[in-house]
């Protein structure tokens, strides 16, 4: 057994070993850091964080127009206050003394399908509608998707908001998208899909159902060519800034072990009434 193992190790070349974690993202040697082929010392002086995100994820630098749209989306989704579960959990964790790393990981860990996943879901919805559009008949493709969601009693991700009658982040983001459509930077296909969804969702209703931050950023990320799963990753990058800020603020406050509701209030108990264990024989 030992001879077989030694022979297998001898037959393994050093290239086999270094290929184990082969990567096209970064090239690191003593005194050298190249990211997607660019020396880091050349990137540091003039590359924005949004440009770096694009470079690392997509493999090359974006145009200034592409970087501008990406940056707007990242800025818009940074924070939505302590009522957002990811922020609240991070602040609670900070009062438990876990440090910024623990508080931030607690908050980020809550960004799943329900809280944090609507942008990715909305991007996938746009893709499905685009694929189902036949001979330019966008109206029918959108109507079918809405009907399918209603038949499943499923909400349309990216539209409506439990807090804002009209999300204040919608208009500046979509205005920026339209500006880049007008200059030919992006196609506008996903913007048209989103606006048709918005139009049909509002039909027959006293109050419209405007796009929210998830829908507006989904338009931007889809227009820029990001795959739907990356939409969630980009949202997490953005919201991490707010999670950091709130974690640090709570840490500086000095209060220990803050629960979900302030004392002396306690959660409503709905279980069995007080009872005694039967006497043992």
> Each residue of 121-165: pLDDT tens digit?
999 999 999 999 999 999 999 999 999 999 999 999 999 888 888
Q: Helix (H) and strand (E) counts for the chain?
A: 13, 3
Closest by CA to 53, choosing from 43, 45, 258, is 43
Mean pLDDT of the chain: 94
Exposed, middle or buried, 257 (CB in 10 Å: 0-12/13-18/19+)?
Answer: exposed
Cβ-contact 239, 116 below 8 angstroms: yes
Instruction: Over range 236-252, report the average pLDDT.
Output: 97
- What's this model's pTM, rounded to 2 decimal places? 0.92
pLDDT in tens, 90-114: 999 999 999 999 999 999 999 999 9
Both structure tokens of 40: 């880091």
Per domain, the residue ranges of the chain are 85-253
DSSP annotation of 278: P
pLDDT confidence of 15, banded at 50, 70, 90? confident
pLDDT of 9 reads 63
Give Cα separations from 258 to 99, 107, 249, 266 (angstroms). 15, 15, 14, 13
Give CA–CA dist 198/51, Å, rounded: 31
Torsions phi, psi of 163, nearest 5?
Answer: -120, -40
Domain 85-253 class in CATH? mainly alpha
Instruction: Over range 43-62, report the average pLDDT.
Output: 98
Instruction: Over range 15-19, report the average pLDDT.
Output: 85
């Amino acid at each position: 057994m030992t001879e077989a193992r030694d022979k297998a190790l001898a037959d393994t070349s050093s290239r086999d070993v270094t290929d184990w974690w082969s990567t096209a993202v970064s090239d690191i040697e003593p005194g050298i850091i190249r990211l997607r082929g660019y020396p880091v010392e050349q990137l540091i002086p003039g590359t924005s964080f949004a440009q770096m995100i694009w470079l690392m994820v997509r493999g090359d630098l974006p145009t200034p127009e592409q970087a501008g749209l990406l940056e707007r989306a990242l800025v818009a989704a940074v924070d939505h206050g302590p009522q957002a579960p990811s922020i609240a959990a991070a602040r609670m964790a900070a009062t438990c003394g876990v440090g910024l790393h623990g508080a931030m990981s607690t908050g980020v860990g809550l960004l799943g399908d329900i809280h944090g996943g609507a942008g990715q879901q909305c991007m996938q919805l746009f893709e499905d509608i685009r694929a189902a559009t036949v001979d330019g008949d966008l109206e029918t493709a959108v109507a079918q998707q809405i009907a399918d969601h209603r038949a499943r009693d499923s909400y349309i991700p990216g539209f409506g908001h439990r807090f804002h009658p009209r999300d204040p982040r919608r208009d500046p983001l979509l205005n920026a998208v339209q500006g880049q459509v007008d200059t030919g930077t992006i196609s506008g296909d996903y913007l048209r899909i989103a606006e048709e969804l918005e139009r049909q969702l509002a039909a027959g209703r006293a109050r419209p159902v405007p796009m929210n931050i998830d829908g507006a950023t989904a338009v931007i990320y889809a227009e820029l060519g990001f795959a739907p799963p990356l939409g969630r990753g980009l949202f997490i990058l953005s919201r991490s800034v707010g999670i950091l800020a709130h974690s640090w603020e709570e840490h500086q406050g000095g209060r220990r072990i803050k629960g979900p509701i302030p004392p002396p209030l306690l959660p409503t108990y709905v279980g069995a009434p007080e009872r005694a264990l039967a006497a043992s024989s």
